[in-house]
């Protein structure tokens, strides 16, 4: 009897190991999932990017396991066009005057001239058998719909892209209300536009708490399904207004905030902006360009908002691990553009300086042992679409303006001559490993040498006309004359 019991126990143990091995093999054979985390207005203000006073342990943990691109640049310093480039893998110069409505302009073309419109990234994955779900702010409008309150099902920003596109609204009642929401359902109006706020309470005081909760709910459901998934979760903070639960602000009570480098307005013509979005908020008569105490307070609130976003990233990643799908899921963390915290006397984005265009990009692939490897190669947002196709072994679309980053990730010694192109409605820029060149519709040009002027404070265009010509030619060779066609 004793020997029979030992035999049965041994058999059960072996069967358990065997079942586990089969399960692991099945997991490995399934197409890889994608978890894409977008964070709004997130400059590389993170510990993993060298900003030591910032508390960002969860993003830093992802960076320590994944691959970090220290010189990632978006293709436009504004939410709408930057997300257009990420979601389509194309620059979208033809919509440069359409500002945050680029995806809706694409919808119009899709109806009138469908042959000129290519599949978006989620459509591409969907056409290859993926379930595609977005939660929060992934396209420009949280939830991905149009209409007065951004909640009209008949007006999707991206038709046929998402199996579901979800925006929990809570006390804010509408997606539009959540976009600039303050605590407890307070929305931005002409009479209620405080630039910063802190309130005691839980994470769900602000919309991101709801977005993260819904994102985790969707992640659990998708991970238990049979099909591969592409799940995009878009967090709104640290976007204006700088509203944050007090417990995150308290983390910075004894933290010394770094002073603003090069806070002066550039001399001569440049892509300088008057920070109109920021200045439209209630600042109680204070101007951070003149009041350094107020400027430091704003930087502290921004830091607290980053830490608030980081907490949600941690919750999402922990949920992924609990489901077991982490073993077969590629994770991307992407900032939709940078944000000036007083550099060049700018508070905001919407310009073509380094601070507005450089943002975090971290890619984690469970098959690769990156262990926090970094690349200083210049890369750009349009590279993300082909990279994810490459990592998931899907065909790479020939219409993408970007290139897969996998060769760089697999070979740190690979020398690349990549450059990043970006634009606003009235300017186009290129960032190489050495220079930034910018041409404005008014005719003036800027040239900065990043090897000895990383702050972009000395315009040397008039001293180096040949370099100006070379970089202008490089832009035209990449994207054509439309790069400087201001009438598009």
DSSP string, 386-443: HHHHHHTTPPPPTT-SS--SHHHHH-TT------EEEEETTEEEEE-SSEEEEEETTS
Q: What length does the chain have?
A: 488
User: How many CB atoms are located within 10 Å of the residue 14 CB?
Assistant: 10
Residues 298-325: what's their mean pLDDT? 98
pLDDT at 357 over 50: yes
pLDDT for position 415: 73
- Structure confidence by residue, pLDDT tens digits, 361-392: 999 999 988 889 999 999 999 999 999 999 99
pLDDT for position 171: 96
- Structure confidence by residue, pLDDT tens digits, 82-126: 999 999 999 999 999 998 999 999 999 999 999 999 999 999 999
pLDDT at 8 over 70: no
- Cα separation, 349 vs 239, in Å, equals 11
pLDDT band at 3 (very low <50, low <70, confident <90, very high): low
pLDDT for position 7: 54
DSSP E strand stretches across 236-309: 242-245
Residues 268-297: what's their mean pLDDT? 95
Residues 161-177: what's their mean pLDDT? 97
Query: What's the mean per-residue pLDDT of the chain?
Result: 93
pLDDT over 70 for what percent of the chain?
93
- Cα separation, 32 vs 326, in Å, equals 10
Closest CA to 340 of 292, 267, 425, 275: 275
- Cα separation, 35 vs 233, in Å, equals 8
Candidate from 23-32, 111-120, 251-260, 332-341 with smallest mean pLDDT: 23-32
pLDDT at 286 over 80: yes
- Cα separation, 485 vs 488, in Å, equals 6
- Structure confidence by residue, pLDDT tens digits, 49-58: 999 999 999 9
pLDDT for position 12: 47
pLDDT for position 24: 47
pLDDT at 79 over 50: yes
- Structure confidence by residue, pLDDT tens digits, 20-40: 454 444 445 789 999 999 999
35: which residues sit within 8 A by CB, 6+ positions away?
219, 231, 233, 316, 320, 329, 330, 331, 332
Report yes or no: 117 and 103 within 8 Å, Cβ to Cβ. no
Unique residue bearing structure tokens 């982490």: 326
- Cα separation, 342 vs 299, in Å, equals 9
pLDDT for position 18: 47
pLDDT over 90 for what percent of the chain?
88
DSSP E strand stretches across 288-342: 329-335, 340-341
Please give the positions annotated as active site.
Answer: 79, 140
- Cα separation, 472 vs 485, in Å, equals 13
Candidate from 182-196, 288-302, 333-347, 468-482 with smallest mean pLDDT: 182-196
Helix (H) or strand (E) holding 310: helix 292-323
């Amino acid at each position: 009897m004793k020997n029979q019991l030992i035999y049965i126990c041994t058999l059960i143990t072996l069967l358990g190991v065997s079942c586990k091995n089969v399960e692991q093999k099945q997991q490995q054979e399934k197409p890889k999932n994608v978890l894409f985390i977008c964070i709004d207005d997130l400059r590389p203000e993170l510990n993993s990017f060298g900003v030591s006073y910032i508390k960002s342990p969860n993003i830093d943990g992802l960076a320590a396991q994944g691959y970090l691109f220290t010189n990632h640049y978006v293709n436009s310093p504004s939410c709408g066009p930057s997300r257009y480039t990420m979601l389509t893998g194309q620059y979208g110069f033809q919509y440069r005057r359409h500002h945050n409505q680029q995806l809706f302009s694409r919808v119009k073309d899709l109806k009138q001239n469908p042959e000129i419109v290519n599949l978006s990234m989620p459509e591409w994955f969907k056409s290859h058998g993926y379930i595609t779900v977005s939660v929060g702010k992934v396209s420009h409008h949280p939830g991905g719909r149009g209409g007065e309150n951004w909640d009209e099902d008949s007006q999707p920003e991206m038709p046929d892209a998402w199996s579901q596109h979800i925006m929990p609204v809570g006390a804010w009642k509408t997606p539009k209300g959540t976009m600039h929401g303050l605590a407890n359902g307070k929305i931005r109006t002409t009479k209620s536009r405080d630039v910063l706020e802190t309130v005691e309470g839980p994470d769900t005081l602000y919309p991101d708490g709801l977005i993260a909760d819904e994102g985790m709910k969707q992640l659990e459901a998708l991970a238990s399904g049979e099909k591969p998934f592409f799940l995009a979760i878009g967090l709104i903070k640290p976007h204006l207004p700088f509203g944050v639960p007090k417990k995150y602000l308290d983390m910075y009570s004894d933290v010394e905030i770094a002073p603003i480098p090069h806070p002066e307005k550039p001399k001569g013509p440049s892509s300088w902006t008057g920070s109109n979005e920021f200045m439209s908020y209630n600042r109680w008569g204070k101007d951070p360009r003149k009041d350094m105490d107020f400027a430091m307070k704003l930087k502290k609130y921004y830091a607290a908002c980053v830490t608030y976003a980081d907490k949600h990233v941690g919750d999402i990643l922990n949920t992924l691990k609990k489901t077991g799908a982490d073993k077969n899921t590629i994770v991307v963390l992407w900032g939709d553009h940078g944000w000036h915290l007083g550099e060049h006397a700018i508070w905001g984005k919407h310009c073509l300086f380094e601070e507005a265009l450089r943002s975090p990009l971290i890619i984690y692939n469970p098959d690769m042992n990156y262990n926090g490897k970094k690349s200083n190669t210049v890369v750009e947002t349009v590279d993300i679409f082909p990279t994810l196709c490459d990592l998931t072994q899907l065909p790479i679309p020939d219409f993408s303006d970007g290139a897969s980053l996998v060769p760089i990730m697999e070979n740190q010694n690979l020398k690349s001559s990549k450059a990043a192109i970006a634009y606003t409605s009235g300017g186009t820029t290129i960032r190489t490993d050495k220079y930034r060149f910018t041409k404005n519709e008014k005719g003036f040009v800027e040239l900065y040498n990043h090897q000895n002027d990383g702050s972009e404070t000395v315009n040397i265009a008039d001293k180096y006309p040949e370099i100006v010509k070379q970089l202008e030619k490089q832009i035209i060779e990449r994207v054509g004359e439309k790069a400087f066609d201001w009438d598009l």
